[in-house]
Structure 1
Amino acid sequence: MTIKCKVKSIEPLAANTYQILLHPERPVEFKAGQYLMVEMGEADKRPFSIASSPCRHEGEIELHIGAAEHNAYALEVVEAMKSALEEGNDIAIDAPHGDAWMREDSKRPLLLIAGGTGFSYVRSILDHCISQSIPQLIYLYWGGRDEEQLYAKDELHSIAERHDNIHFIPVIEKTESDWRGKQGNVLQAVSEDFDSLAEFDIYIAGRFEMAGAAREQFTQNKQAKSDHMYADAYAFI
């Protein structure tokens, strides 16, 4: 369904990463973990996870878009958003999409895994769990190149401190001397921390290669159930 939106704001989150707030002309119904398509042309629709949760978005839709100079696919969308904000024009989206939404009827613990701006996908799920007072254990692993890329880490640490069932584990590839968290690959960090993932619902956002590696590694080595692993990438790989 095509919906016209006004661009309400664009704010930097980290280097080449932006928070964009859209105000749709009518309410958009979606599930935590779904995505939308930004319509750049009649046959050019580009997917981005919805960072806001369906229960607390207050009529606005939040996106987190990583748009480095080498990533023309995302950079062009950010430039179109900036132009629409400056000129008061509309941006067209097609929403909702995706089958990797949170299964609210499940009582299994949750493992949320994100790479880079894939965090927007798990952020929607986490915020929905908090708003609905979902009691299951929730582990959120967020991997990035460096500490700056984990732009919401302070907020997540604060959330984990306030909720006994929520655990946040940041993982970076390039560490500074004062870094006290995990270092290396985010999937490796998960593998080191769990003997078995058989009882978990696992939600993953990141590059297709990461999602594919997670499914292979976790089902073969950690007893994860493939039908309890969710990622938009699995519709394509």
Structure 2
Amino acid sequence: MTIECKVKSIEPLASNTFRILLHPEAPVSFKAGQYLMVVMGEKDKRPFSIANSPCRHSGELELHIGAAEHNAYAIEVVEAMNQAYADDGSIQIDAPHGDAWLQEDQERSLLLIAGGTGFSYVRSILDHCISQNKTQPIYLYWGGKDSSQLYAMQELKQIAQQTKNVHFVPVIENEEQEWQGKRGNVLQAIEQDFESLADFDIYIAGRFEMAGAARDQFVDRKQAQRNRMFADAYAFI
């Protein structure tokens, strides 16, 4: 369904990463973990995860868009959002989309994995679980090049402190003198931390290569159930 949206706000979250709030002219019904398409042209629709949860979105849709210099695909969307905001105009979205939403048919432990701004996908799922007072163990692993890319780290640490069943593990690739957490590849960190993933529902957002590698590694080496692994990438790879 195509819907006109006002751009309510645009603010930086980190270097080249922006939080954008959209106010749709008609209500948008979606599930935690789904995405919307920003309509840039008749045959040009660009997908972005909805970062807020369906139970706490107050009629607004939140996006986290990483628009690094080499990423014209995202930069053009941010520029269009800025133009609409400056002109008090609107942009079009097509929503909802995606089959990798939170499965609530079983109360299995959850493993949420994000690379970079893939965090917006798992944020929606995490927030929904918290708002619904879900009690199963929830592990969130978020990987980035450096700590500045993990723009919601303090928020997540606070959530983990206040919510007994939520465990947050940040992972960075670069050397940082003050860094006290895990270093390296986020998938390797998970492999080191879990003997088995047989009892987990696993949700993944990041580069397609990461989602593909996670499925191969976790099914082969950690007894993950292939049909209980969810990522939008799996519709394409």
Query: Is the TM-score greater than 0.5?
Result: yes
* Residue in 2 that maps onto 1:96: 96
The match for 1:2 is: 2
Structure 2 residue aligned with 1:27: 27
Aligned to 1:147: 147
Runs of 4+ in 1 over 3 A off after TM superposition: none
SS of the aligned residue for 2:180 comes to: coil
How far apart in 2 are the matches of 1:178 and 1:84?
40
Q: Using the alignment, how far apart are the partners of 1:8 and 1:196 within structure 2?
A: 44
Shift of 1:84: 0.2
Q: How does 1:116-135 map to 2 (within 5 A)?
A: 116-135=116-135
Preserved CA contact (<8 Å) 1:147 1:175? no
Unpaired stretches in structure 2, ≥5 consecutive residues: none
CA distances 1:75-109 after superposition (whole Å, capped 9, x unpaired) = 00000000000001110000000000001121100
Instruction: Give CA-to-partner distance per residue, 1:173-224, whole Å, 9 cap, x none.
Output: 0131111100000000000000100000000000000000000000000000
Q: TM-score, normalised by structure 1?
A: 1.00
For 1:53, give the aligned amino acid.
S
The equivalent residue for 2:195 is 195
User: Counterpart of 1:69?
Assistant: 69
Aligned length: 237
Q: Residue 119 of structure 1 contacts residue 205 of structure 1 at CA under 8 Å; is this kept in 2?
A: yes
Q: Secondary structure at the match of 1:11?
A: strand
2:55 aligned counterpart, secondary structure: coil
SS in 2 for 1:55: helix
Question: What's the CA shift string for 1:134-193, capped at 9, x where partnerless?
Answer: 000000000000000000000000000001100000000013111110000000000000
Alpha-carbon distance in 1 for matches of 2:175, 2:129: 31
Computed over aligned residues only, the root mean square deviation of the Cα atoms, in angstroms, reads 0.4
Identity %: 73
For normalisation by structure 2, the TM-score amounts to 1.00
Moved more, 174-183 or 160-169: 174-183
